[in-house]
Structure 1
Amino acid sequence: MIVSPDVIGMIIALFAFTLTVLGGVATMLAKQTKTLDARLDRIDTRLDRMDDRFDRMDDRFDRLEGEVVEVKIAIARIEGPRRHLQQL
């Protein structure tokens, strides 16, 4: 079977066009991936800072809870024991 030069030219042109389109898509995906990675890195950094802040707040609440318990104990000592029913 003999293939005409026009058919061979069309096949080569379609092959080159396909490679060009796929190269453009690959470049576009690479750029989007790079941009998304940068954004995710910034988000991770922010989340790490938020975790540190929450840890500090937890420490503060733990200290405050201990102080509240101490105040309750001091108030109970000032008030004295609960009065029981007294017989007349």
Structure 2
Amino acid sequence: MFVSAEILAIVLSAIGIVLSLGTSMFAGLAWVVRRIDSVEEKLTARIDAVDLRLSARIDALAAETTEVKIAVARLEGPPRHLYVSGR
């Protein structure tokens, strides 16, 4: 069987194009995944920092709320009983 040089050149160039496109797509996808991982690490660190500050503020607020409840209970005190002297 005889294959002309033009057909062989077309087949080889098609294989080359497919390989180069596949390689470039793989490299591009790898770059995107690496960038996403980088952003995710930065975002996780930022969220953790904000979470620590918010936790501290919530704990302080809970302590203040408890103190306010105690102060209100002291102000109200037990119900006062009114004793009326007998006539």
TM-score w.r.t. length of structure 1: 0.78
**Matched residue, 1:46:** 46
- 1:4 shift after superposition: 1.6
Amino acid across the alignment from 2:35: T
Q: 1-side partners of 2:58 and 2:19: how far apart? A: 57
- Partner residue in 2 for 1:14: 14
TM-score between both structures, scaled by the size of structure 2: 0.79
**Structure 1, unaligned runs of 5 or more:** none
Unaligned runs of at least 5 residues, structure 2: none
Which residue pairs with 1:70 in the alignment?
70
Whole-angstrom distance in 2 between the partners of 1:5 and 1:82: 112
Q: How many residue pairs are counted as aligned between the two chains? A: 83
Compute the displacement of 1:19 (Å): 0.8
- How many percent identity over aligned positions? 19
Deviations 1:11-37 (A, max 9, x none): 011101111111111112211211111
Q: Which amino acid aligns with 2:27?
A: T
Q: Post-superposition shift, 1:81?
A: 2.9
Letter in 1 for 2:25: V
Provide the alpha-carbon RMSD of the alignment.
2.0
Q: 1 CA distance for matches of 2:44 and 2:11?
A: 48
Question: 1:56-81 CA deviation, whole Å, 9 max, x = no partner?
Answer: 1221121011100111122123xx63
